[in-house]
Chain A
Amino acid sequence: MKAEGVNAFFGKTQALKGVSLDVPENQVVAVIGPSGCGKSTFLRCLNRMHEVAGGSRVGSILLDGENIDDIDPVNLRRRVGMVFQKPNPFPTMSVFDNVAAGLKLNGTRDRGKLAEVVERSLRQAALWDEVKDSLQKSGVSLSGGQQQRLCIARTLAVDPEVILMDEPASALDPISTAKIEELIFQLKSSYTVVIVTHNMQQAARVSDMTGFFYMGNLIEYDVTKKIFTAPSMKQTEDYVTGRFG
């Protein structure tokens, strides 16, 4: 995906100022920065959820060279999936139905196909072994970490090209966090991942490229190792070394 000169607004307030960023295929891009710097807004621009929340955007974003404004938002969101900060499995559905939701609610009826996709997605999300005997249990009966992996499985089930993650582990305990990070590492081979995180160590552990945002501006975007060991901008260095944040 490629962002070119993206400016995002919430009414009159400008949340993003001229952000240009290239997301290479099959890589993990981390977006870091202090609270309110626009990282979540940027993420939501990538799958046009920003406009659902009442925001507006100027500047183009491309998916595989195609301008996302020219693609039907519903189709776009099937190609660019999103995992949210707080796990949100659908409360009235079982584990199976949750994972199958993206397909079922778009018309797929074939039970065999659904079962196949559900198993594949749950395996990819490293949750299959834990739930394979209780697929009919309510989605909200799982633990926090399991729920988040369920949401990841749900996103994977529609077979997206890009997966956006908005602080996916910030609401979870350290063990679940470690599982999720390991998951992201494995997903890299088949998907492209953009992850927003306020945890710098997580960004350093998990990503290939890192972008540092501050007050709506993209201050620096480079290979992760470089950002954390030898950043070119002083602001980046100050943030990464913890002088502010």
Chain B
Amino acid sequence: MSAAFVYRWRKAKNLAMTGLSLLSVGAALVPLFLIFFYTLSQGIGALNLDFFIHMPKPVGETGGGMANAIVGTGILILIGSAFGLPIGILAGIYLAEYGHTAFGAVTRFMTDVMSGIPSIVVGVVAYILVVLPMGHFSALAGGVALGLLMIPTVTRTTEEMIKLVPDSYREAALALGIQRWRATLRVILPAALKGITTGVLLAIARAAGETAPLLFTSLGNRFWSTDVTQPIAALTVFAYDYSKSPFEDWIRQSWAAAFVLILLIFVVNVLFRIVTRGRFAAER
């Protein structure tokens, strides 16, 4: 085989592989765009200003909106984050910095198990923990359920991201006579922040899209409510309820709810990125 031929053959292989990778990227992005545009096209009839600022109309009447559901989803995510994020991030820090023990190994294993638990089971746990003592359904219970769902993802991602921070920074901080916990919090954590944010976003996205655990914790609410001790509406639950209905108008609203949900996640993603970019650049 001549050198020129081998060279051309290698170039061709390189081109083929690059092309294959690009194709795969396309294949991965196609479902995303399909979902985006399909939900949009199906729900566009119901997507107007009314949808965002009006309450649901009584059964049988057309029109109305999902203002309460949008706010409800927002409140549920907030409660879930307030509950799940601190626990998850702190657990992740512990596992990365102090988790080289048997206890750490067990914790890691249990976290992985927890991430595999069906969300409806988590809903039952929240039911037992919050709904029963309170005596009624509430947004709090829904928030706790979502928080529990967030914890495994956030913990594992935080742990991995902190482990990625080079040891040289830990050593430098310790050699300055800085206490270990301070070094972890003020030097290591900021360096890992970008990666941790990704984990947090993934967790929020998952939680925002959950329906089953909310069915018997926050229940759903046809009326406007921001009281966390009362049942609250959620986009996912609404989409579920309305999609089972015989009314075409409601079905269109259900599609619109799905679309709004996707949009919400997208916006949260972009906002986070804008806020944390530049502030904590761990490149180089």
A, B from the same assembly: yes
**Which residues of A pack against B, CB within 8 Å?**
47, 49, 52, 74-79, 81-82, 84, 86, 88, 90-92, 101-102, 105-106, 138, 140, 151, 154-155, 158
A84–B190 alpha-carbon span in the complex (Å): 21
What residues of chain A lie closer than 8 Å to B172, measured between beta carbons?
84, 88, 90, 151, 154
Contact of B173 among A78, A101, A140 (CB under 8 A): A101
Residues of A within 8 A of B186 (CB): 105
Given contact pairs A88-B168, A138-B281, A105 touches B182 in the complex (Cβ within 8 A): yes
Quick check: B183 and A105 within 8 Å, CB to CB?
Answer: yes
Contacts of A78 in B (CB 8 A): 176-177
Using a CB–CB cutoff of 8 Å, the interface residues on chain B facing chain A are 166, 168-169, 171-179, 182-183, 186-187, 190-191, 193, 280-284
Beyond A79-B177, A102-B176, A151-B172, 11 additional pairs, beta carbon < 8 A: A49-B175, A77-B174, A84-B175, A88-B169, A90-B172, A91-B191, A91-B282, A92-B193, A105-B187, A140-B283, A154-B172
Indicate whether A84 sits within 8 Å of B171 (C-beta atoms), given known contacts A102-B178, A154-B176: yes
Residues on A with C-beta less than 8 A from B280 are 92
User: Can you list 11 A-B contacts with CB-CB less than 8 angstroms, sorted by A residue number?
Assistant: A74-B178, A77-B175, A77-B177, A86-B168, A88-B171, A90-B172, A92-B187, A92-B191, A151-B172, A155-B175, A158-B177
The smallest beta-carbon distance between B173 and chain A, in angstroms, is 7
Give the distance to chain A from B166, nearest Cβ to Cβ, in Å: 8
Query: Could you count the A-B residue pairs with CB atoms below 8 Å apart for me: how many are there?
Result: 78
Which residues of the other chain, B, contact A138 by a CB distance below 8 angstroms? 281
B169 touching A90, Cβ below 8 Å: yes
* Contact residues in A for B190 (Cβ distance below 8 Å): 92
| Complex CA distance for A92 and B187, rounded to whole angstroms | 8
B93 to chain A, nearest CB (A): 16
Q: Which of A79, A101, A151 gathers most chain B CB within 10 Å?
A: A101
Given known contacts A84-B168, A105-B182, A105-B183, is B281 in contact with A92 (CB within 8 Å)?
yes
The residue in chain A whose Cβ has the minimal distance to the Cβ of B170 is: A52
| Given A88-B168, A91-B169, also A101-B178 (CB < 8 A) | yes
The 3 closest A-B pairs by CB, nearest first: A78-B177, A77-B177, A82-B175
